[in-house]
Amino acid sequence: MNNTHTGQAGKKLSLKEKYALMTRGLGWDTSYEPMDKVFDQLGLEGIRIHDWDKWEDPFRLTMDAYWKYQAEKERKLYAVLDAFQQNNGHLNISDARYVNTLKLFFTGITPAEYNAHRLFAMLGRQFPGPGAAIACQMQAVDELRHVQTQIHSISQYNKYFNGLHDHSVMNDRLWYLSVPKSFFEDAISSGPFEQIIAISFALEYLLTNLVFMPFMSGAAYNGDMATVTFGFSSQSDEARHMTLGLECIKFVLEQDPGNVEIIQRYLDKWFWRGYKVLGLVSMMLDYMLPRKVMSWKEAWEIYFVQNGGSLFNDLSRYGLRMPRHWEQSVAEAEHLSHQTWNSFYNFSDAAAFHVWLPSDEDMAWLSEKYPNTFDQHYRPRIEHYRRLQAEGKRYYNPSLPMLCQTCQIPLIFTEGDDPTRTSHRETEHEGEKYHFCSDGCQEVFEQQPDKYVSAWLPAHQILQGNCFAPDADPQAAGFQAEAEVMRYFHVNPGQDNMDYEGSQDEANWRLWKGLSPDGASKAPPAA
């Protein structure tokens, strides 16, 4: 409808004018306070920006269009989630074992998405260029939307499966979740340029395919339409996030030649930090998806070596090179999932999901995918575990593990020249010893020791007596320390964890699917 009496307002703006007014036009230079006081974190890292107007917005998205697109995506997503719920979509997944990948994702990644929301909201405040600030603000809202839709998926699965009842408390307390948690807290407590390189470039551009593609394809292969739909819904956001990452790195590199060295240091650090977190994904791909998509080794070859390699080829004209130790990550692809899975088999009585031994068919697949390592190094111990389980003597590790000061993963990795010898590095800082799983983690520590000396390492916190509920009394007679730590984690022993075989999840699944205890399909009772 034409609105003639307001004159100018009735004129429909061209897209170009609208973009100019609603992004660049919203910025101004402060006059009551100097700009460097208002944007007080910008100078801390030594990065020099001479002209924020050189920032290019590849999407040229304005806020009104953003809301429109996002609302449309939400409508579609929730229509599918509603249908999934009403049609008992959880019964169409390949097997109840599959849900354990979701448990790991929802307790490990969903709270990280919330931290990503906080991080981008702060970045939107810290960048003086309106182009960059608005892109960050939009991403902050995206991340919040992702948290919200994932929580709605959690609430659906939580009705039927154990271990999903308290994802946020678990993320704060549960030992293995300190790995993704500390990754994001490391990023969010960095300077603004390091934050955006860490999350937008290293995680969202370089490594995101490793999280999303195998995971979403895994969901599709295993009949999980709720997760697939969420994946599609977030994919267009992710495309925008990746572009932000790439634009940001090019912008910063082009602004000042002195920035290259700093950015390279950030890339070296955040590649290594991200790679370590992805160990969880390697285990999902090789050991947890009932219907396999591809091996970790194949995924790393395609998404990191090939795609990442050509990306760094493009970036070499700015003076950037591949991140330090990338060759090591390729060599370790032969071992990563097997070593990660073994640590969860060791400690599955202290986790919030189930594990199980690979079947004969799974082991044949692992032999085929890992011809250089599986039969030689990993099959014998799985067969040993099988014998023990058959004798009713299932092995659980009753000890606490030694953790890496940087990535917080137990020292489960082995030396490049000897896959049977634990990889260990050690340094001393101000009279204290610190231990690491790798050269990469030691180097990250040595860049900023004051940051990592304060790491909240779960095993040490348990031994300091800090992982008990407020009403627990360690001095009381008959105090059960291990049970009390589980209570602090909000994990129900035996119900949320240990083996899938014999679990409540398995019993329920058999009941719903009409399966007899030996796995065969049971004829429905005669009417």
Partner 1 sequence: MQTNSQAPSSHPLVRDRVDNFHGQQLIYVGWDHHTMICAPIALLVPPGLSFGELVDSLLAHSAFALHPDWPRINWAEVEWFASDQPVTPRRDTALKDQGFGHKTFLRMRTPALRGIAGSGS
Q: Which residues bind partner 1 (CB under 8 A)?
A: 41, 44-45, 186, 189-191, 194, 339, 342-343, 345-347, 376-378, 380-381, 384, 395, 397-403, 410-412, 414, 419-422, 424, 426, 430, 432-435, 448-451, 453-457, 459-460, 463-465
CB of 424 to partner 1, least distance (A): 7
Nearer to partner 1, 127 or 345 (CB): 345
Token pair of 404, please? 């890496």
- In angstroms, the first-to-last Cα distance of the chain is 64
Chain centre to alpha carbon of residue 393: 34
Contacts of 6 (CB under 8 A, 6+ apart): none
CB of 414 to partner 1, least distance (A): 7
CB of 355 to partner 1, least distance (A): 12
Taking alpha carbons only, the member of 346, 485, 401, 342 closest to residue 493 is: 485
Nearer to partner 1, 56 or 432 (CB): 432
Secondary structure of 42-98 in HEC code, one letter for each residue: CCCCCCCCCCHHHCCCCCCCCHHHHHHHHHHHHHHHHHHHHHHHHCCHHHHCCCHHH
Contacts of 502 (CB under 8 A, 6+ apart): none
Q: How far apart are CA 289 and CA 454, in angstroms?
A: 36
Nearer to partner 1, 68 or 381 (CB): 381
CB of 467 to partner 1, least distance (A): 13
Nearer to partner 1, 262 or 311 (CB): 262
CB of 399 to partner 1, least distance (A): 4
Nearer to partner 1, 324 or 435 (CB): 435
Nearer to partner 1, 454 or 521 (CB): 454
How buried is residue 203: exposed, middle or buried, by Cβ count under 10 Å (0-12/13-18/19+)? buried
Q: How far apart are CA 231 and CA 211, in angstroms?
A: 11
Nearer to partner 1, 162 or 259 (CB): 259
CB of 204 to partner 1, least distance (A): 20
CB of 5 to partner 1, least distance (A): 51
Nearer to partner 1, 159 or 421 (CB): 421
Q: Distance of CA 76 to CAs 71, 232, 233, 364, 441, Å?
A: 9, 10, 8, 40, 43
CB of 185 to partner 1, least distance (A): 10
Angle of helix 360-369 relative to helix 379-390, nearest 10 degrees, comes to 170
CB of 461 to partner 1, least distance (A): 8
Backbone angles phi, psi at 435, to 5 degrees: -120, 150
| Contact status, residue 271 vs residue 177, Cβ threshold 8 Å | no
Task: Kindly report the number of other CB atoms within 10 A of residue 37's CB atom.
Answer: 8
Nearer to partner 1, 188 or 220 (CB): 188
